[in-house]
Amino acid sequence: MGPDDGRHHRRPRRRPSDDRQHINPGAPAGCDGKKGDRDNCLGRSRGGLTTKIHAVVDGQGLPIRLSLTAGQSHDGQAADDLLDHVGSGTIVLADKAYDADRIRAALREKGAFANIPPKSNRRSKPYFSTWLYRERNLIERFFSKLKHFRCVASPYDKLAENFLAMV
């Protein structure tokens, strides 16, 4: 090992920089997620954890269907689940985020009319009525009412089921 010159050669004792008990703490083994590994609809952004609420309301502004997605996910992903109940002759008003050919085609197959403003980079612009689009204020008023409740405006629940139950 080395010459024994009578000195005790010890390695310097490593001390943690803070008052934690363990130097390199980590998650306990087997903590990959709960059983079932549910999607909690929590998205990461620079501002922290985010969640999007998607809603379908009727002509009076009352909610029919609600859905949650992570904050960074595209709005069009939630449209398939929300719009599967749409009947024939229904006029669907949505914002530019829902402007996709597959959403318009799905609504056309069900006999519904999609009045969605086209994105600015769209090559072929479908028909869009600004007069009908004025009625979209119902959904904006619905979300304005939701934001008056602190538990919805700043969600503290990390489970999607609990947050959706509050909404």
For the chain, domain boundaries = 43-166
Residue of 133, 102, 90 whose CA lies nearest to 115: 133
Per-residue pLDDT tens digits of the chain, which is 167 residues long: 556 666 666 666 666 565 555 555 555 554 555 554 455 666 666 666 677 788 888 888 888 888 888 777 777 778 888 888 888 888 888 888 888 899 999 999 999 999 999 988 888 888 888 898 888 888 888 888 887 776 666 666 566 666 666 66
CATH code of the domain made up of 43-166: 3.30.420
* CA distance linking residue 37 with residue 29, whole number of Å: 16
In this prediction, residue 112 carries a pLDDT of 92
Concatenated DSSP letters for 107-126?
HHHTT-EEE-PPPTT-SSPP
In this prediction, residue 37 carries a pLDDT of 47
In this prediction, residue 5 carries a pLDDT of 63
H helices within the chain, ranges in order?
76-82, 101-109, 130-133, 137-146, 150-153, 160-166
In this prediction, residue 111 carries a pLDDT of 93
User: For residue range 30-52, what is the model confidence (pLDDT) as tens digits?
Assistant: 455 555 445 566 666 666 667 77
In this prediction, residue 108 carries a pLDDT of 92
